[in-house]
Amino acid sequence: MPTKPLHILVIGAHPDDCEYLAGGIASLYTRLGHRVKLVSLTNGDAGHLDTAGAPLARRRRLEAAAAAKVLGAESLVLDHHDGTLMPTLELRYQVIEIIRDFKADLVLTHRSNDYHPDHRYTGVVVQDAINMVIVGNLVPFSPPIYIPVMMYLWDHFQKPYPFIPDVIVDIDEVYEQKLDALHCHTSQMYEFIFGKTDVPLDQRREWLRTKVEEDLTAPTKMYREKLRTLLGKEKGDQIHYIEAFEVCEYGEPLTPEKRLSLFPFLT
Ligand SMILES: [Zn+2]
């Protein structure tokens, strides 16, 4: 166990975003005894082909809790409606409180240029909150904390500028846990994102593996040359799954010392 566990806060827009983009790193942290909390700012009550509203929100919350458990992480799903998230002052205050209460050392979230408005506004609201966690007069009943390092979760969007992989993490050794976590999101993976499947229950996990393969190897393919430069040709060519993170300038700078302490599994 580490003498002082890191507190890693992942803030996504929907139940499943954190697992999809940071499920591997979450597992790497918790295996070393660090704390990870996966937060969804919306309750996911719209993204489905047959159902919606409160019953779907309740289901999504349970699925997110099960997925977090697989990764050894904690789970929090806020009750904002899916597809309608706005970067309001109220939400900013909520996010300030979440970052403070968890005493986050590192906050991971979406960039604000993304196809989905909920992802964009999640990025905006976390950007708006990150520097304010130190200002005690804002949200005064929640004690202020030092500003954490903030980084963006990977995306493939090119405008206004493409994602910069400041930190790349090899997640091959924990990929099965990541897949297990995604498998917990039944209403997303088997009833919505890939359509409604009639694949038998005992074959679904392997079906899901093939469905997410292209998406989850896209960053590896995109940064293969960088991996070779960082790790040498042999290791750089071997890695199959990575997760990548870009520093946000509004958080604490990621100094070489911080990089070492925040990413203890990087060699
Ligand atoms: Zn999402």
Overall pTM surpassing 0.95 (yes/no): yes
Give residue 230 CA to ligand 1 midpoint distance, Å. 30
Nearest one of 129, 120, 122 to 101, comparing CA atoms:
129
Distance 85 CA to ligand 1 centre (A): 11
- In whole angstroms, give the CA distance from residue 91 to residue 102: 17
Query: How far, in Å, from the CA of 143 to the mean position of ligand 1?
Result: 30
Give me the residues paired with residue 7 across strands: 35
14 C-alpha to center of ligand 1: Å? 5
Distance 99 CA to ligand 1 centre (A): 20
The amino acid present at 8, given as its one-letter code, is I
pLDDT tens over the chain, length 267 residues? 788 999 999 999 999 999 999 999 999 999 999 999 999 999 999 999 999 999 999 999 999 999 999 999 999 999 999 999 999 999 999 999 999 999 999 999 999 999 999 999 999 999 999 999 999 999 999 999 999 999 999 999 999 999 999 999 999 999 999 999 999 999 999 999 999 889 999 999 999 999 999 999 999 999 999 999 999 999 999 999 999 999 999 999 999 999 999 999 986
Ligand 1 centroid to residue 13 C-alpha, Å: 5
Ligand 1 center to residue 12 CA distance, Å? 7
Q: Virtual CA dihedral for 114, 152, 58, 45, nearest 10 degrees?
A: -10
- 103 C-alpha vs ligand 1 centroid, how far in Å? 25
User: What contacts 244, CB < 8 A, 6 or more positions away?
Assistant: 154, 163, 165, 167, 168, 169, 219, 223
Ligand 1 centroid–CA 10 distance in Å is: 13
